[in-house]
Amino acid sequence: MKKKRLTALSGSICLILILTAMLLMPACAKAPAPTSTPIPTVTVPAPTVTALGPTVTVTATPTPTPVSAADFYRTHTVTIVANSTAGGGTDYGARLLAAYWNGVTGGTMIVKNEPGGIGLVAINQVYSAKPDGLTIGTGELGSHVVGYALFGNPGIQYDPKKLTYIGHFAAQPTVLSVGINQPYQSMDDLKQAKGLIFGISGTEGIIASGTAMVLEFFGLDGKMVAGYRGADIGLAAAKGEITGYVYSASIVKKDIEKGFVKPPILSTSLEKTLWFPDTPAIPELIKLSPEQEALLKLHVALSTAKGFFAPPGIPEDRVKFLQDAFIKIAGIDGFVTQAKLQFPVWVPVDPGPKVAEMVNAVMNSPKEVVAKYSEVIKKYLK
């Protein structure tokens, strides 16, 4: 009996399991099998490898086309810094060059006056200017540019040997003249006089040195008083404020025409000058000692000439362009005609390279000569 019950129970269990499996089969058939998400493929190009390593491609920056000096000056403005006030010989020369600049170069040139420090400020400014060839200085080459440096002016901030020289013109000597109302006609008359007073511009330069040499070489009884510029020194002589002065020939010539002074008594040079061909030079009146001759030669080397200079370090092609343009302008008939209105006795201009040689020669003068030169000037300063 018991065996029959177990058999029946087992059959019931089997039936239940079969029915359960039949209910679950449709659900299992509807559920999709899980799938994996595909991983995208990334292609990385391999670098080109040579024996020296990977090759890297670099795009070069185009090299700018060089600008010629002619094109540069045609499109830029040049400034001339004149170390004087407007109206004098230095200013006249600067403006005359500027007036002809466009016709030769196609460019523009303007003039700026900077008379500070008796011309020293302008030279310092030009020396320290940007060396692009657009800033030019002009002034008395010997007495200012070279003289200030040779005699150790405390305000100099430049080296004359390093400046770029464009050229110079209007070289002229210094001459001695006396006021129109003075009784003196010759050096013999002056040697007999007492208490002579000669006006000078500054305590350095060719005006001071020329005057001091006249006093020293001829043994005159006199002194020098500083502070007189070319614009007013002739009037001072006419008024009797001073006996006379030693100044550049062009200034004296104008003062003669104004009736301020007499024709010059002496040319402070080694030989007669075309400016005043009837005026004797120093060696014609006295025999110079070797020391005196050395002093006079230095004075002549420092004598008046309108120099044009620029900062050191300017590109060579621009330097050559400036020097060539200067020579071309100075050779134009109209330029020479107008220059003679200020500088009646016209002498050939000197090109930049020659000016540089002259400057170097003066700057290399023997120290003992330079020392004596300064000593003679100081002796007669009052």
Let me know whether 235 and 135 are in one domain: no
Let me know whether 228 and 85 are in one domain: no
Q: How confident is the model at residue 228 (pLDDT cuts 50, 70, 90)?
A: confident
Let me know whether 191 and 289 are in one domain: yes
356 within 8 A of 192, measured Cβ to Cβ = no
9 lies in some domain: no
Task: State the burial class of residue 288 (Cβ atoms within 10 Å of its Cβ: 0-12, 13-18, 19+).
Answer: middle
> Residue 218 belongs to a domain with what CATH number?
3.40.190.10
Say how many domains are in the chain.
2
Q: What is the predicted pLDDT for the residue at 61? A: 60
23 lies in some domain: no
Look at 3-7, 82-86, 204-208, 263-267 and tell me which has the smallest mean pLDDT.
Answer: 3-7
Assessment of whether the complete model's pTM goes beyond 0.85: no
Let me know whether 102 and 123 are in one domain: yes
379 lies in some domain: no
> Coil, helix or strand for 55?
coil
Q: How confident is the model at residue 135 (pLDDT cuts 50, 70, 90)?
A: very high
Let me know whether 311 and 163 are in one domain: yes
Q: Which domain holds residue 279?
A: 174-301
13 lies in some domain: no
Identify the CA nearest to 374 among candidates 52, 87, 104, 151. 151
Let me know whether 187 and 260 are in one domain: yes
Which among 301, 322, 349 is the end of a domain?
A: 301
Whether residue 151 has pLDDT greater than 90 = no
Top pLDDT among 309 and 89 is at 309
56 lies in some domain: no
Q: How confident is the model at residue 145 (pLDDT cuts 50, 70, 90)?
A: very high
Let me know whether 296 and 152 are in one domain: no
